[in-house]
Amino acid sequence: MRKGAKRKASQKEGAKPELESHREESKKTTSRAKRVKASKPESEPEYIEDKRNLEDLWKEAFPVGTEWDQLDSVYQVNWNFSNLEDAFEEGGKLHGKKVYLFGCTEPQLVSFKGESKVICIPVVVAVVSPFPPSDKIGINSVQRESEEIIPMKQMKMDWVPYIPLENRGSQVDKLHSEIFILSCTQRRAALKHLKIDRVKKYEYCLPYFYQPFKEDELEQSTEVQIIFPGEPKPIFCEFDWELDELEEFTDKLIQEEELSEDQKNTFKEFVKEKVREAKKANREAREARKKAVEEMSEETKAAFETMRFYKFYPVQTPDTPDISNVKAPFINRYYGKAHEIL
């Protein structure tokens, strides 16, 4: 064999390991390339809207006098009370003032989602005053024989400081609050353990206010509520001792078969007694008011004279009923009318 042939063969054999080595490197590179995963595209950042500092203020004010089984329906609607929040901002009606807030509801027939329905509209009343407007609650209804004015603590209600969201982590006693809300600590879960009359009392509650410089509605009234325990059914009516003549009033009830003839005299005596009680109550109320004014300090007199009531309705939004036609200044029989509706 020629030397040249051996050399070529030897070169071919020497080239084999180099070729194999190149193939292995190529495989490794390809393998590494396969293992590299494509990076995920960056997701859009989520923006969570910060809660407003007074966002839950309207919910914290207990809706006095609302039936317990209606409370859930009040909060099912996404009511907007940004007007109440704005009132505490600089330039607002309540900015820098000591304010006492209580809630209530007004059942109204309104248009909502294309149909007319009765909805409990939440309302917040703001009382601008250097001291609590009252520590009492009035309890009254058509079904009750007489009105009750009792300490609100008997109904587990009291004025408590409202803590804005940004201050919730602070100690309450170290905060100087200028906003107070009428709160109720009665737990709904415990209602089943109460007597029905006690539960109903909450539905008849009205925030009480006594204005010593203004003659009370009751002092001026000449009407008495009559609930006569007649047979076979009780008689409910109103008697005005200035406008009604008792004999005619009684005869009319007999004609309408509301009262039997044999109960006539008993009924008349019953009405006379109620009239005497009402006149006595009116007289005592006038005397008490006069005495209260005489004993009042000049500072307290000035506070009563400058006290202001603001009534806040929810702001109209696409998610809430149209309440533009049902807003009214009247608060309740004790507070009378608000100085301003917002």
Residue 314 and residue 286 share a domain: no
What CATH number has the domain bearing residue 222?
Answer: 3.10.20
pLDDT at 1: 45
Give the whole-angstrom CA distance, residue 11 versus residue 16: 9
DSSP 8-state code for residue 63: B
Give the pLDDT confidence of 264-318 residue by residue, as tens digits: 999 999 999 999 988 888 888 788 778 878 888 888 888 888 899 999 999 988 8
> Are 102 and 181 in contact, with CB atoms under 8 Å apart?
yes
Q: Cα–Cα distance between 150 and 21 in angstroms, integer?
A: 100
Identify whether residues 325 and 239 lie together within a single domain. Answer: no
Q: How large is the average pLDDT for residues 45-65?
A: 72
Region 94-108: mean pLDDT is: 90
The edge-to-edge listing of strands for the beta sheet with 340-341 is 157-161, 179-184, 99-112, 115-128, 308-312, 340-341
Structure-model confidence comparison of residues 215 and 95, the more confident one: 95
Query: Cα(first)–Cα(last) distance of the chain, in Å?
Result: 116
CB 88 within 8 A of CB 95: yes
Residue 31 lies in a domain: no
Least confident of 26-30, 47-51, 111-115, 252-256: 26-30
Is 302 within the bounds of a domain? Answer: no
What DSSP assignment string belongs to 320-342? Answer: S-B-TTS--SEEETTTEE-SEE-
Same domain membership, residue 338 and residue 238: no
Same domain assignment for residues 88 and 165: yes
**Residue pair 81/124 in contact by the 8 Å Cβ criterion:** yes
d(CA 179, CA 58): 12
Judgement on whether residues 208 and 90 belong to the same structural domain of the protein: yes
Number of structural domains in the chain: 2
Enter the pTM of the model: 0.65
Q: Is residue 15 part of a domain?
A: no
Does residue 124 share a domain with residue 98? Answer: yes
Confidence of residue 143 (pLDDT cuts 50, 70, 90): low
- Same domain for 188 and 225, yes or no, is no
In a shared domain, residues 152 and 269: no
Q: What is the pLDDT of residue 310?
A: 94
Tell me if 11 is assigned to some domain: no
Q: Quick one: average pLDDT of 36-61? A: 64
86 and 59 in one domain? yes
Q: Has residue 6 been placed in a domain?
A: no
Q: Are strands 179-184 and 99-112 parallel, antiparallel or unpaired?
A: parallel
Task: Judge whether residue 321 has pLDDT over 80.
Answer: yes
Which residue bears the tokens 């009343």?
125
Are 234 and 120 contained in the same domain?
no
Q: In what order do the strands lie in the sheet with 205-207?
A: 148-151, 136-139, 205-207
pLDDT per residue over 9-36, tens digit each? 444 444 455 545 545 555 544 444 445 5
Specify whether 116 is located in the same domain as 58. yes
Q: Please check whether residue 253 lies inside any domain of the structure.
A: yes
For the cut 50, the answer to whether the pLDDT of residue 7 exceeds it is no
235-267 pLDDT, tens per residue?
888 899 888 999 999 999 888 888 888 889 999
In-domain check, residue 42: no
Residue 281 within a domain: yes
CA dist., res. 218 & res. 215, Å (int): 8
Q: At what angle do helices 246-255 and 264-295 cross, to 10 degrees?
A: 130
SS (H, E, C) 219-253: HHCCEEEEEECCCCCCEEEEEECCCCCHHHHHHHH
Are residues 242 and 225 located together in one domain of the fold? yes
Average pLDDT of the chain to the nearest whole number: 78
* Segments forming the whole domain that contains residue 254: 213-295
